[in-house]
Structure formats: structure tokens, C-alpha cells
């Protein structure tokens, strides 16, 4: 790829991160907030990969984003099981209604 497309990848990653931040701040459904977090993690991966193509011998960026993908998968599994437990307890996953720390 031409060098200028790396700059475009960085801009796309910045836009994806901002959209993910807006999703996390705006939406009130716990699962949608999780989707916003996944979007932000993907933007970070895109940044790492964009810089990693200039490092073909060691590929540190790609390996780091591989680890990020694994951590994101683990985080999604734990977060969804917690959301299911919260739903069993409070019968809702709307974040505005979850105001009790203990019940």
C-alpha cells in the first residue's frame, strides 16, 4: 500500500474510537455499552496494525494487537456473564435503573 494510506488508517481509527466513546456515553443498555467498548478496542488495534507494517522483521504491533484481541474476548465473556447475573437480580439491564449497590 502507498504510505499515505497509513495516515488514512490512523484517521479511521480516530473516528472509530470517537464513535465508540459516544456509544459508551450515550446508550443506556448494558450490552450496547459493551459494543462501544469493543469498537474502541478495534480502533486501537487498527492503529497498532497501521504502524506495524513498517516493522516486517518483528511485527511487534501485530503481536500486541493479537494479545488485545484475546483480552477483548475474555473481557466480553466476563462482562456478559455479569450482565446476565445483574438481569437475574434486578430484572433489568438499563444502566439508569441500576442504582442499588446491595439488595
Partner 1 sequence: MIQIAFFSFVALTLASAVGLLLTRNVLYAAYLLLLTLLGVAALFVFAGADFLAVSQLVVYVGGVLVLVLFGVMLTNKPASAIPDSTPVSERSNRILTENRRPWIAVLLAGGLFWGLSRLLINAHFVVFDRPVSTTSTTIDVIGKQLMTEYVLPFEIISILLLVALVGAGYLAKHKQ
Which residues 23-52 are close enough to bind partner 1 by CB under 8 A?
Answer: 23, 25-32, 34-35, 38-39, 42, 45-46, 49-52
Q: 67 to 96, contacts with partner 1 by CB under 8 A?
A: 67, 69-78, 80-85, 87-88, 91-94, 96
Residues in the chain: 103
Place of cell 438499563: 94
Say whether residue 98 binds partner 1 (CB under 8 A). Answer: no
We find the least distance from the C-beta atom of residue 98 to partner 1, in angstroms, to be 12
d(CA 102, CA 54): 52
Task: Decide: 13 and 44 in contact? Cβ < 8 Å.
Answer: yes
Amino acid at each position: 500500500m502507498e504510505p499515505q494510506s497509513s495516515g488514512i488508517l490512523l484517521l479511521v481509527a480516530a473516528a472509530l474510537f470517537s464513535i465508540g466513546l459516544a456509544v459508551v456515553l450515550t446508550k443506556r443498555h448494558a450490552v450496547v455499552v459493551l459494543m462501544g467498548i469493543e469498537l474502541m478496542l478495534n480502533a486501537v488495534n487498527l492503529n497498532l496494525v497501521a504502524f506495524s507494517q513498517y516493522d516486517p522483521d518483528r511485527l511487534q504491533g501485530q503481536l500486541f494487537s493479537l494479545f488485545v484481541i484475546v483480552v477483548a474476548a475474555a473481557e466480553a465473556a466476563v462482562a456478559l456473564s455479569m450482565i446476565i447475573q445483574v438481569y437475574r437480580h434486578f430484572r433489568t439491564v438499563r444502566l439508569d435503573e441500576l442504582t442499588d449497590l446491595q439488595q
